[in-house]
C-alpha cells in the first residue's frame, strides 16, 4: 500500500463533503470552472489546503520536464481531484485521472462530475 494512502483517504471524505455542499448550493448544469472556484472557496472555509491547476512534472528515462498538464485540484499534496461538468463520464476521463495520479505518485484520486442530480452518482474513486 502507498505510504500516503491513509492520509489521502482521510482527506477524501472532507473533500467529498465540500463537493456535496457546492453541488447542494449550485445544482447541476453550470460550467466546470464555476464548480472549481466554488469548491476551492469551500475548501478554504474548511481550512483544507488545495492547489488549483497544479502543473505536472513528467519524468521519462532520466529527463524531467513540466508539461502543460494541469491538475484541477491537489488536496494536501496527496489527493488528486479531477472535476467535470459533463453529461457522461467517458473512459478517457478516468484514464486522465489515473495518469495524473501516476505522474505525481498520488495514492488516491477522485473524479467528480457535477452534472448529475445527486452528486454521489457523479463520483469515481481510483486507487493507485
Phi/psi for 57 (5° steps) reads: -90, 130
Q: Would you kindly state where each structural domain of the chain is located, as residue ranges?
A: 5-127
Q: What is the mean pLDDT of residues 47-57?
A: 88
CB 5 within 8 A of CB 108: yes
pLDDT bracket for residue 1 (50, 70, 90): confident
What pairing do the DSSP bridges indicate for beta strands 108-113 and 79-84?
parallel
User: Whole-prediction pTM value?
Assistant: 0.92
Q: What is the mean pLDDT of residues 51-55?
A: 84
CB 72 within 8 A of CB 35: no
Condensed to tens digits (0 to 9), the pLDDT of residues 66-113 reads 877 788 999 999 999 999 999 999 999 999 999 999 998 999 999 999
DSSP H or E stretch at residue 54: strand 50-60
Q: What is the mean pLDDT of residues 54-59?
A: 82
Of 75, 125, 124, 62, residue with least CA distance to 104: 75
Residue 54 has pLDDT above 80, yes or no: no
Amino acid at each position: 500500500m502507498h505510504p500516503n494512502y491513509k492520509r489521502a483517504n482521510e482527506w477524501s471524505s472532507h473533500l467529498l463533503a465540500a463537493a456535496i455542499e457546492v453541488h447542494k448550493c449550485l445544482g447541476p448544469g453550470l460550467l466546470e470552472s464555476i464548480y472549481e472556484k466554488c469548491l476551492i472557496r469551500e475548501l478554504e472555509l474548511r481550512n483544507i489546503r488545495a492547489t488549483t491547476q497544479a502543473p505536472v512534472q513528467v519524468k521519462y528515462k532520466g529527463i524531467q520536464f513540466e508539461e502543460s498538464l494541469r491538475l484541477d485540484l491537489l488536496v494536501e499534496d496527496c489527493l488528486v481531484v479531477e472535476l467535470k461538468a459533463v453529461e457522461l463520464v467517458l473512459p478517457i476521463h478516468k484514464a486522465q485521472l489515473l495518469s495524473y495520479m501516476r505522474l505525481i505518485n498520488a495514492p488516491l484520486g477522485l473524479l467528480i462530475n457535477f452534472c448529475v442530480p445527486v452528486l454521489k452518482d457523479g463520483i469515481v474513486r481510483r486507487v493507485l
